[in-house]
Structure 1
């Protein structure tokens, strides 16, 4: 028996990361399939990626993998089962593909795999994700006219790419397995809900898992973290030697500004505007297509400004791992900007005060950078020690946050575990931010703008009531019912619930 695998692997295809000829800085996971004795590039998939150039490399990898795995399954299935093709065979085959993904292809009783794929069972979420990626691609091919909507011959050994795609089109007709992701617009959600049941190919069911209580950053740790967590040397006289200024400022943005962990790494030094009244305006601007907002270069795009300094926008997939920072589709204005709303004025004033000092500290660090590269860069947060002046990385911040927790452990005398489940990962503060706004009674549309979501539906996971809050509200309701203050439930209705135990 073949060696155990952690996930389905390629058999009749290969995915290669390569650059598209004639296009600068657009690398894609190109899919090559084995057709007879030849290896063929799936050109339509290249066109698909060119139609969505700003999508992440991970998203493109998922599409290539989904199409490649389905191709593998079709080839292996046809080699083993050469039975006559019955009515609706195409949909039956994709149902078998879905089950093969979810349940695995290895017979647990006979300990063999007739398809010779040796796919281990995949989770429900992974299975649905693959099917969704596959179906979305085929829908696009149909709209583009790459494949016709009418039926065609079944896939045996395809003579060309169009035959393969026609087969896929027959097997996959709608995005039936698409999750209600918070990145999807409200109109897309409405259309998906309307079409889902009518177009469903297979019902895989669910695992009965709700969203559960949001793992937000522990509120009781906010004050001690900000006071003690970033202290490097209490005896030092210079602020940058006493505290980790960069990590502390980023943490202020995460906890009190509700930013995603990647967003502070896109902030330029001129995206922060201190106000005379002690407040501070901070803007998140599109990494590539927003203007620089610099004096004398207001109309220059950020990607142009960076290119002149041999840099790319930080969300570009061609960047090194340390320089890369993701970017979600924020709700922005016509200048492609979104303001950060501080949830507490004291935190805003602290960030303003630190920013003013940080500019002079950054200038000293940038001298080392310009000496090495002959030019500057515009990013606010920079490294302090190794490669001083270079743009600060997400990994560097994560390490700094872990060190802050270690200092806090010693101060508080109790362990503080770093992780998503504990709410102490860099995303936990954003959940705390949303909870604070919700519990303060802030209107949903205001919360939407504060979290910079494009849809009001997106912040549900951030404003989910806590177990304590739900219990408290239910206790209030129970007392209201018991005192007959609830007109919907009278005493006669309650009487049937009484138990006389003698």
Structure 2
């Protein structure tokens, strides 16, 4: 192998601040400096660590291919074309041999296309910074690609508030394409958001997670489960909770309000203000504990942050319990849990901690929670399976579908899930297999036993009007049109 991917702590100025990023080491165990610079740029641009890691992995694959194929290419573009083909075909011949000794199996189309796009970005950056030759240059697009480019251009600009002051010259936008675009994937129906089976929830809560030997661990994992199943949080969001972020609900003294603050930009607790005047959680962690926000850490300590919207200028996500009983159960367990926590030494503000004897008091990790989650499933005779809804994220789907079945308005569901767009929740309105089967069975009965048609005369109903859509106020047909994404709008 010509390169190795490692996590490095990079210091790039005299401040001594260390930035954790994935980098590549060459065969002499020296950092490949352009890759280090590129990773630092992506980090400064605010790209998530998982996205940076994918780009570095793509660069590693290209370097491996270049090391195994040192001759026979007339230009960088020719080499990149061959590399792209091998992503789709693999490097192993029909005889099972591979003279290059790479022994790559074919990559899925989506992964191969992702690698090509990532390497296109990297080589464009190298060309701009170092004057290197782009491996995937822009070329004149064929007529079909021009149409696709135009469609993408129109989609980006049709709802742009400042579009009237932007350069909208179509010629410069749609007439060029990448020399290597990657194979198009098969079209797919909108995927159904698989929910956790409600028939298993009570057993999983009481006997699954509740069956752990350490009662403190039981309480911790049950609290996290309630936040996901009854509050709709992602599992990663629950691990950003601080002890100060839970307080009595002023509207229901038997329940609690829970707020999940952005790990960097969220407001620090108790009106804290640092020596420099900053009031963010990033500043609080650095000054009080010499820690970095968990979304900046690497490896097992990393906890991501996905939400692009918050519920307040203080940058937090409000948990909306549904039904309210989940908040009341959480309040009972929380009172017991914090009594346990108060006896444990912690050098951090996070609410959920590890109780293992070798790591007592340290922040709870996603890996540890996922392991305990799977063990809880096994205690009630189930195996982890995303396709069956037996995974942590499926509880967020259960929460969303519960809201939909209760007839909660789409705009309220958007608020509860902290989505940036109504489009994000379309996946929760997609019929499940069971709902499709029920609908078809009912249609079969209507077909076999047709009723006498009744002619209706009169003013068209709201449903009839909305069937034709309102292009000015609902151009994407979220509520109106023949097949609205979020169902018929209630008049």
**TM value normalised by structure 2:** 0.72
**8 A Cα contact 1:283 1:337, kept in partner:** yes
Judged with a 3 Å threshold, the aligned counterparts in structure 2 of structure 1 residues 243 and 385 are, in CA distance, closer, same or farther, namely closer
* Structure-2 residue corresponding to 1:102: 88
* Alignment RMSD (CA, Å): 3.9
Change (3 A) 1:444 1:221: same
Deviates more, 1:217-226 or 1:476-485: 476-485
Partner of 1:205: 184
> Paired residue for 2:407, among 435, 441, 451?
441
CA distance, structure 2, for counterparts of residue 437 and residue 382 of structure 1: 31
Mapping for residues 303-452 of structure 1, pairs under 5 Å = 303-307=282-286, 308-318=288-298, 321=300, 323-332=301-310, 333-364=312-343, 366=344, 369=345, 376-386=347-357, 387-407=359-379, 409=380, 415-452=381-418
**1:473 lines up with 2:460 in the alignment:** no
CA distance in 1, matches of 2:217, 2:23: 47
Q: Deviations for 1:72-105, whole angstroms, at most 9, x for unmatched residues?
A: 54676671244xx7xxx93x65443322111112
Alignment partner, residue 50 of structure 1 = 41
Unpaired stretches in structure 1, ≥5 consecutive residues? 1-9, 149-160, 177-185, 235-239, 371-375, 410-414, 488-502
Distance, in Å, in 2 between the alignment partners of 1:198 and 1:190 is 23
Gaps in structure 2 of 5+ consecutive residues: 146-154, 161-169, 456-491
Match of 1:24 in 2: 17
Task: Determine helix, strand or coil for the equivalent of 1:262.
Answer: helix
Count of aligned pairs: 417
Deviation at 1:130, TM superposition (A): 0.8
* 1:259 aligned partner: 233
Distance 2:216 2:68 in 1: 63
Question: Which of the numbers 146, 149, 162 marks the counterpart of 2:130?
Answer: 162
SS at match of 2:71: helix
Counterpart Cα distance in 2 of 1:27 and 1:391: 19
8 A contact 2:272–2:279 mirrored in 1:
no
In 1: Cα distance, 2:7 partner to 2:204 partner: 42
Alpha-carbon distance in 1 for matches of 2:58, 2:140? 15
TM-score for the superposition, normalised by structure 1: 0.71
How far apart in 2 are the matches of 1:226 and 1:39? 50
* Offset from partner CA, 1:104-158 (integer Å, 9 cap, x none): 1233258344x5644321122221221222234455x3xxxx645xxxxxxxxxx
- 8 Å contact 1:267–1:285 — kept in the other structure? yes
SS in structure 2 opposite 1:446?
A: helix
Aligned to 1:120: 105
